[in-house]
Amino acid sequence: MSGAVNGTGKTNGVHSASTNGHQHPEDLKIAIIGQSNFAAEVLEVLLEREHMVVGVFTIADKGSREDVLATTARQHRIPVFKFPAWRRKGVPIPEVLEQYRSVGANLNVLPFCSQFIPMEVIDGASFGSICYHPSLLPLHRGASAISWTLINGDERAGFSIFWADDGLDTGPVLLQKQCPVYGDDTLDSLYKRFLYPEGVTSMAEAVDMIAAGTAPKIPQTEIGASYDPALFREENQYVNLNQSAVAVFNFIRGLDSVPGALAIVETESGTEVPVRLFGASLCARRSFANAKQIQFKGTTEPAYVCKEGIFITGTDGRLVKVKRLKRGNKVIQASQWFEQANAKPAAPLELTEKELESDAILRGIWKAILKVEIEPETDFFACGAGSMDVVRLVEEVKDTLEVPISNETLFMAPTYGEFMQEVVLRLRSGNDSVGVGANIGYDFRHVVLKANRREIVVPTQMFVGGRFVDAEGGKTLPIVNPTTEQPICEVAAASKGDVDEAVKSADEAFKTVWTNVSARERGQMMFRLAELMEQHKEELATIESIDSGAVYTLALKTHVGMSIDAWRYYAGWADKIEGTTIPVSPARPNHVLTFTKREPIGVCALITPWNYPLMMLSWKMAACIAAGNTVVIKPAQVCPMTALKFAELTVRAGFPPGVINVVTGTGSLAGQALADHPLVRKLGFTGSTPIGKRIMASCAESNIKKCSMELGGKSPLVIFADCDLEKAVRLGMSAVFFNKGENCIAAGRLFVEDRVHDEFVRKVVKGIRTMKIGDPLDRATAHGPQNHLAHLQKLQEYCTVGVKEGATLVCGGKRVPHLKGLFFEPTVFTDVEDHMYIAQEESFGPIMVISKFHSSDFEALVARANNTEYGLASGVFTKDIQKALLFAEKVEAGTVFINTYNKTDVAAPFGGFKQSGFGKDLGKEALNEYLKTKCVTVEY
């Protein structure tokens, strides 16, 4: 980039060369004088057009690094000459002139040249010398033309190719091209969008014109001519903050990204700190209630530091936002000024033997690129590295060490010591031996669970903006182990203000850092997270058992196993979300292209239940993140611990701060605050139907936010006499007692054909007697404790009502006697009539509700199955394929199981009808819940 800024074809008093009448244009022998990628590409294009290049003249090597122009020329076997200078004390160096003349050039092409070229060289080319200049001459003559185009607020930018004469950029113009300057253009964007690519092509066009004898020489007018100060001199790089916001903005963007506009920050202690400003934009006035004031030298106008960056006030009262600062040799986010100013240098890492090997590999990569000995203080950019070197370093580190880094990693840690520490920390992210808080960059409050032959560290604070933080006022909630009924710990109880901070953090991440992560990179992060969950699956399953009462073996296979599957499945979808093109009928003779884009919604809130804490989080969040949204999740009040451990793993996986936030607390306060928040654009909820209705009302009243609901169920399971009865008993029991009955698709009512009813009941009761009830961490346990005391009491009341209404209690119906903990006996009711409470309402517990039916009236059976306001799942056991498919056709349920039950898969959509809710989890369809469709129509 710096090459285009400083390269102006300075010739120190040369005049335009006249064409020798004894030569023909087709006999061109070209000398290229210059440096940089720009000059190298000009060389490549000239060779492609079969022009003869007889020599390349470039700068001397920097240490052992040669300029890319020299490397490119040698690849084409073109003579290369490297001169530290062409003159000594203003006089051409004889041996330099001799080497130049040795190639016999008759046209000098200067695509980028930062050296002073003697007029003897220019005069030595009979066809003359042409120079590239990045401005519309005569405007902005001098070395910093691109910058001054922006600083002066020009509406047009461009470049000129001119014939060298005895002035500085004053020779006749051969050709010019121009482009508009957009409001968000920087020096970088102008160069990459137009000046570089068009400049390379136009240099070749100019040579073609000379070869054809059609190249004009248009004298420059002095009207509008300017010669602007060189911005490679530090004294010219200071931004004047005592001017309008537009002028401040233009100056900063004119020096972005090299070398950066200079300003001086005056600290409270009186210290003056030079900084360079990058990433400027003009902003509308806003409140600075939570901002900190910062003082820049030489201005009385206020400046503020807040989450979005530093806001500088112009003399007209308008604001300039600055996103990044460079202090010393390190770039930091402007919003982190005060944190960085007070931060202590990180202690050097103690490297393991394997990490020392990685250090050696990394040191070798740096040395191969920079061609210097590498020390901890070696600065990548101070050694002359350019943009392509950055790309090479990042890609080689990814390939050889398999560590996720980006260009920004190097910008934030430009010295070898800093960069090496960043790489090592990221390498450790998947290491089970890492201690509390390692790789996260901060300590957090935690509890150590000693169970299952493990010691597991679990955070107990909320996770907001990439940090574990206390709730407002330090409020907490007790978490109880349902197996022992003893407290486990206290976790943060979020206030409405805490929820607001989490949502704002997610909103900021969505608008900034997350938009810079490509869909494929997003998928890679999700894959890394799934791998970390796999590495920690035993820990996660243990937490689920202690926190929610899940049987460990089931937690390992389903709670955690299916969670990992969900993250892997949706990681694969991240870069496959596509729109469509639509054939429309435009009015003739116009042509119209209409297409759709599938875009993320923004900040999504998720409220999940207590029966599958990690799985419900993963079912929803994986699709949400794959679609490109940011998220705030409120896990269930009574069992939030796997969500907090999950938050820790997201940091280790490399998710940027603010993308994933976890607020713990009550549904009535924290959950309601999410439903009411105007910045939340989508809410996904799993829970009871009554709460779902209240949340839907809040979504409508707040900002008509999109919502999806997975609510209550009373799923019918029909067992015909012609089925495989042994299988029907085994899977029927699973349909009811799986996960202690705390299962949204549990079979809430069994319809058993009268011919096999009694045998079915006998086999079920016999099976119940073989179920081991007890400690969920015991590998032999089949039935663990209910999730929490209030739910256990609800199940007791449910059974009391069933008996009172006349149903027959075959077994169970009460708390397990002589066993500490929230254990409820597996229960069976028969003789249940359709009008009874237990036939209509969900128990959400281990209670089998059985009704008889006669096979003579299939339609009546289906009507009984559908006689509920719920429609989540259903099942049928029969060997008659006609009956099975007719049942699947007529039953009002989102999921139908035939000769099986509870067979869900992450690729299969899941969701209910009627008051069981709407929208889907899992499968491709779940992505629709977290995407919006934009239609674009172009007329041409």
The set of catalytic residues is 133, 710, 744
Q: Copy the structure tokens of residue 563.
A: 């969670």
Q: Could you tell me which of 94, 87, 101 has the C-alpha nearest to residue 11?
A: 87
Q: What are the φ and ψ backbone dihedral angles of 835, each rounded to 5 degrees?
A: -80, -15
Tell me the backbone φ, ψ of residue 98, rounded to 5 degrees. -65, -45
Instruction: Let me know how long the chain is.
Output: 940
Q: DSSP secondary-structure letter at 218?
A: B
Tokens encoding 810: 């075959």
Report the distance separating Cα 494 and Cα 500, nearest Å: 10
Sort 211 into a burial class: Cβ within 10 Å, 0-12 / 13-18 / 19+: buried
Q: What are the beta bridge partners of residue 65? A: 62
DSSP labels, 127-173 = T-EEEEESS-TTTTBSTTHHHHHHHTT-SEEEEEEEE--SSSS-SPE
For tokens 């006349």, the residue is 806
User: Among 631, 655, 633, which residue's Cα sits nearest to residue 644?
Assistant: 633
With beta carbons less than 8 A apart as the criterion, state whether 96 and 108 touch.
no
Phi and psi angles of residue 442, each rounded to the nearest 5 degrees, phi first: -160, 160
Amino acid at 154: D
Report how far residue 559's alpha carbon sits from residue 557's, in angstroms, rounded to the nearest whole number: 6
Tokens 């239609």, located at residue: 935
Measured from the Cβ of residue 24, the count of other Cβ atoms closer than 10 Å reads: 11
Residue 934: how many other CB atoms lie within 10 Å:
11
Contact status, residue 135 vs residue 160, Cβ threshold 8 Å: yes
Q: What is the 3-state secondary structure (H, E, C) of 476-528?
A: EEEEEECCCCEEEEEEECCCHHHHHHHHHHHHHHHHCHHHHCCHHHHHHHHHH
For every residue of 422-491, DSSP letters joined together read HHHHHHGGG-TT--TTTTTTS---EEEEEETTEEEEEE-SEEETTEEEPPGGG-EEEEEETTTTEEEEEE
Residues paired with 309 in a beta bridge = 306
- Give the separation between CA 394 and CA 698, rounded to whole angstroms: 47
Please state, in angstroms and rounded to a whole number, the distance separating the CA atoms of residues 713 and 868.
9
CA distances from 487 to 450, 480, 484, 609 (A): 14, 4, 9, 20
CA–CA distance, 584 with 554 (Å, rounded to integer): 53
Q: Which helix (H) or strand (E) holds 309?
A: strand 309-313
Residue 135 half-sphere exposure toward CB, CA atoms < 13 A: 30
Contact, 201 vs 207, CB < 8 A?
no
Instruction: Supply the DSSP symbol for 8.
Output: -
Asked whether the beta carbons of 579 and 596 are under 8 A apart, the reply is: yes
Contacts of 390 (CB under 8 A, 6+ apart): 380, 407, 410
